[in-house]
Amino acid sequence: MPTIQLVANIYTDFSGYNRLINFYHEASIYYDDEVHICIKELSWIDANLSALLDAILHKLHQENRLTFTIDFDLANSKFNVLLRNGFLKSDIPVPDVQKTTLPNMNFSINDKNYYIQYLEDRLLKHRAFPQKYHSQADSIIDQLVEIFCNSHHHSGTQYPFFVSGQYFPKGDYLVFTMVDLGDGFLPRIAATEPTVLNSLQAIQWALKKGNSTKLKTDQTPGGLGISSLLEYCSERNGGIQIITSDGYWNSEDSGTIFPNGRKVNKPFVGTTVNLFLRR
What CATH number has the domain bearing residue 145?
3.30.565.10
Q: Render pLDDT for 126-175 as a digit per residue (tens, 0 to 9).
A: 999 999 998 889 999 999 999 998 887 766 678 999 999 999 999 999 99
Q: What share of the chain is helix, strand, coil (3-state, %, to 5)?
A: 40, 20, 40
**CA pair distance 148, 130, nearest whole angstrom:** 22
- Give the mean pLDDT of the chain: 92
Give the confidence band of 217 by pLDDT, cuts at 50, 70, 90: very low
Q: Render pLDDT for 107-123 as a digit per residue (tens, 0 to 9).
A: 998 999 999 999 999 99
Residue 275 has pLDDT above 60, yes or no: yes
| Cα 16 from chain centroid (whole Å) | 12
Predicted TM-score of the model (pTM): 0.94
Smallest CA-to-CA distance from 118 within 80, 79, 163, 160 is with 163
Give the confidence band of 93 by pLDDT, cuts at 50, 70, 90: confident
Answer for the pair 53, 181: CB distance below 8 angstroms, yes or no. Answer: no
By CB atoms closer than 10 A (0-12, 13-18, 19+), residue 93 is: exposed
By CB atoms closer than 10 A (0-12, 13-18, 19+), residue 200 is: buried
Task: Work out the angle at residue 198's Cα, subtended by the Cα atoms of residues 192 and 199, and round it to the nearest 5 degrees.
Answer: 95
Give the model's pLDDT for residue 154: 62
Answer for the pair 30, 84: CB distance below 8 angstroms, yes or no. Answer: no
DSSP 79-118: -THHHHTTSS--SS----TT--EEEEEEE-TT-HHHHHHH
**CA pair distance 252, 217, nearest whole angstrom:** 37
Give the model's pLDDT for residue 219: 47
Kind and range of the H or E element at 69? strand 67-70
**CA pair distance 244, 123, nearest whole angstrom:** 24
The length of the chain in residues reads 279
Q: Which domain holds residue 129?
A: 3-278
Q: Which residue did the predictor score with more confidence, 69 or 90? A: 69
Give the model's pLDDT for residue 222: 44
Percentage above 90 pLDDT, the chain: 79
Give the model's pLDDT for residue 216: 43
Q: What is the CA radius of gyration of the chain?
A: 18
Please provide residue 228's backbone torsions phi and psi, each rounded to the nearest 5 degrees. -70, -40
Give the confidence band of 209 by pLDDT, cuts at 50, 70, 90: confident
* Total tally of structural domains belonging to the chain: 1
Answer for the pair 275, 176: CB distance below 8 angstroms, yes or no. Answer: yes
| Cα 218 from chain centroid (whole Å) | 26
Give the model's pLDDT for residue 220: 46
